[in-house]
Amino acid sequence: MDFDIIVVGGGLSGLISAAAAAEAGRRVCVVSCGTGDLLNFSGCIDLIAYHPGGSTRLGPTPAELMERLAAEIPQHPYTLVGKSGIERAIGFFKSLLPEGEYSGDIDRLIQLPTAIGTIKPTGLVPRSMAAGALDQGGEMLVVGFQGLRDFSAPYMAPNLAASLAEAQLSAVVRGETVAVDALSRHGGATVGALARRLEDEALLGIIAEKVRPLVGRASRVGFPTILGFMKDGPTRQCLEERLGARVFEIPGLPPSVPGQRLANHIQNALNRRGVCLMLGDRALGAQMEGQKCRSIRVARHGQITEMNARGFILATGGIRNGGLQAFRSGIREPLFGLPVRQPSGRGVWFRSSLFDPEGHPLDRAGVTANVDLHPVDEEGRILLENVRVCGRILAWQDPFKEKSGSGVAIATGYKAGTLSTME
Ligand SMILES: Cc1cc2nc3c(=O)[nH]c(=O)nc-3n(C[C@H](O)[C@H](O)[C@H](O)COP(=O)(O)OP(=O)(O)OC[C@H]3O[C@@H](n4cnc5c(N)ncnc54)[C@H](O)[C@@H]3O)c2cc1C
């Protein structure tokens, strides 16, 4: 099997890189043994909300934080892409999706309520969550359902009220739980299961009837992420008409319904561009010729298949999804055996407090790249001439401390895909 570009890893960074390479007319294949964190993440694209140092001060904006990173951390993935490159990547990401599906940019942090009542600062938000932005003020009704196992309005609403007071935001929040026979009869449900069932108009009508008397003075009504599994638009519009208020989804626990919707949109965009998706297949190793990768060996249908390409993109993620592997002796990159920047020993992987404002050293481990996203050694020498690296596997970022995970995936994925067309 011959392609111009093979992307290894089908998480957000790999899919974006594949779309960017295919946009330039290249024959592209994505080989991925899993779906990555797309099905775990909230659906909100975090650009960056905190400086990676010990400060707990929010923002002020992603653009300003990116400028600080550029001055202070030359190897940070955002510095490698640059502010204008990040903006182009965001524009490209939005262009892959239905018009208006995501809003936001690097000049503003958007604060949303979460299912546990905390405030999530983020960068790009799906249309289904936009009306939940907390800077809008006014009264907000949060609706839960009896028997729903992974969302509770009586738990969330007081927590959110406390978080709002602490953040000096003026929105007022009220929580209500409604009983729907169709749910309780089956011994309860999860948010994901309810999202599938809400594509049924009859159940939607029943829910609207139950919620309408509770709306009162609320100008917006928040639900868990149940507004349809494949697309949220029709369900949300129908509820807004019947409730006479804006309706929004509240980001919650995995598995992520908004993440599944985003994955569907991007995979549709890849199908339109003729990208070959080999999902469920694992890359086992690489054949090298000097400093160039000639081919990779892929486990496919119980056999080993050799796949050739002119260029390769390594988008295999971090420790969670197998892009990096953790051993007693240290962290390794299994596919190409690239050097991994990492803490000096296991004893310093983590700080003693889970929420230490400095973050955890292990979270910054990964492969170092140059401005062309080629993997490099400690002296900055290129290790693989036709391989680019993108997403979570890159070192120097701390997605959990910075709140930058999907933003880095999009920015570096777009750059890797665009540059790979030069191979
Ligand atoms: C629980 C959780 C919640 C998060 N929430 C948010 C959020 O709300 N907002 C946000 O912006 N970010 C969030 N993040 C971070 C963000 O989701 C990730 O940083 C981002 O998705 C990383 O994308 P990626 O494509 O680089 O890697 P991944 O998503 O890890 O994808 C890597 C892919 O490579 C595949 N792979 C690995 N090895 C091989 C191999 N040898 N052969 C073939 N395939 C291989 C894996 O199966 C996987 O599909 C969250 C992360 C987690 C874990």
pLDDT digits (tens, 9 = 90+) for 5-61: 999 999 999 999 999 999 999 999 999 999 899 999 999 999 999 999 878 899 999
Which amino acid type is present at position 175? G
What is the residue with the minimal CA distance to atom 18 of ligand 1? Answer: 405
Q: Poorest-confidence range of 24-33, 131-140, 328-337, 405-414?
A: 131-140
Q: Identify the residues whose C-beta falls under 6 Å from ligand 1.
A: 8-14, 31-37, 40-42, 44-46, 254, 282-283, 315-317, 320-323, 335, 391-392, 399, 405-406, 409
Cα(322) to centroid of ligand 1, in Å?
10
Q: Measured between alpha carbons, how far is 62 from 403 in angstroms, rounded to an integer?
A: 10
pLDDT at 188 over 70: no
Residue nearest to atom 44 of ligand 1 (CA): 32
Expressed in angstroms and rounded, the spacing between residue 317 Cα and the centre of ligand 1 is 5
Answer whether 281's CB lies under 8 Å from 220's CB.
no
Verdict on whether the full-model pTM lies above 0.85:
yes
Nearest residue (CA) to ligand 1, atom 16: 405
Chain centroid to CA 179: 33
**pLDDT score for 381:** 97
Which mutation among 6, 321, 336 tests ligand 1's pocket best, with the greatest number of atoms within 8 A of CB? Answer: 321
Q: What are the phi and psi torsion angles at 6 (to 5°)?
A: -115, 125
SS3 310: strand
Nearest CA to ligand 1 atom 41: 283
Poorest-confidence range of 47-56, 226-235, 262-271, 294-303? 226-235
181 vs 272: CA distance, rounded Å = 42
CA 184 to ligand 1 center in whole angstroms: 34
395, β-bridge pairs = none
In angstroms, what is the span from residue 238 Cα to ligand 1's centroid?
33
- How would residue 210 be classed by pLDDT, with cut points 50, 70 and 90? very high
Q: How far is residue 199's CA from residue 195's CA, in Å, rounded to a whole number?
A: 7
| CA-closest candidate to residue 412, choices 22, 76, 134 | 76
C-alpha 137/C-alpha 169 separation (Å) is 7
In the chain, what percentage of residues exceed pLDDT 70? 98
Cα–ligand 1 centroid distance for 29 (angstroms) = 18
CA of 38 to the centre of ligand 1 (A): 6
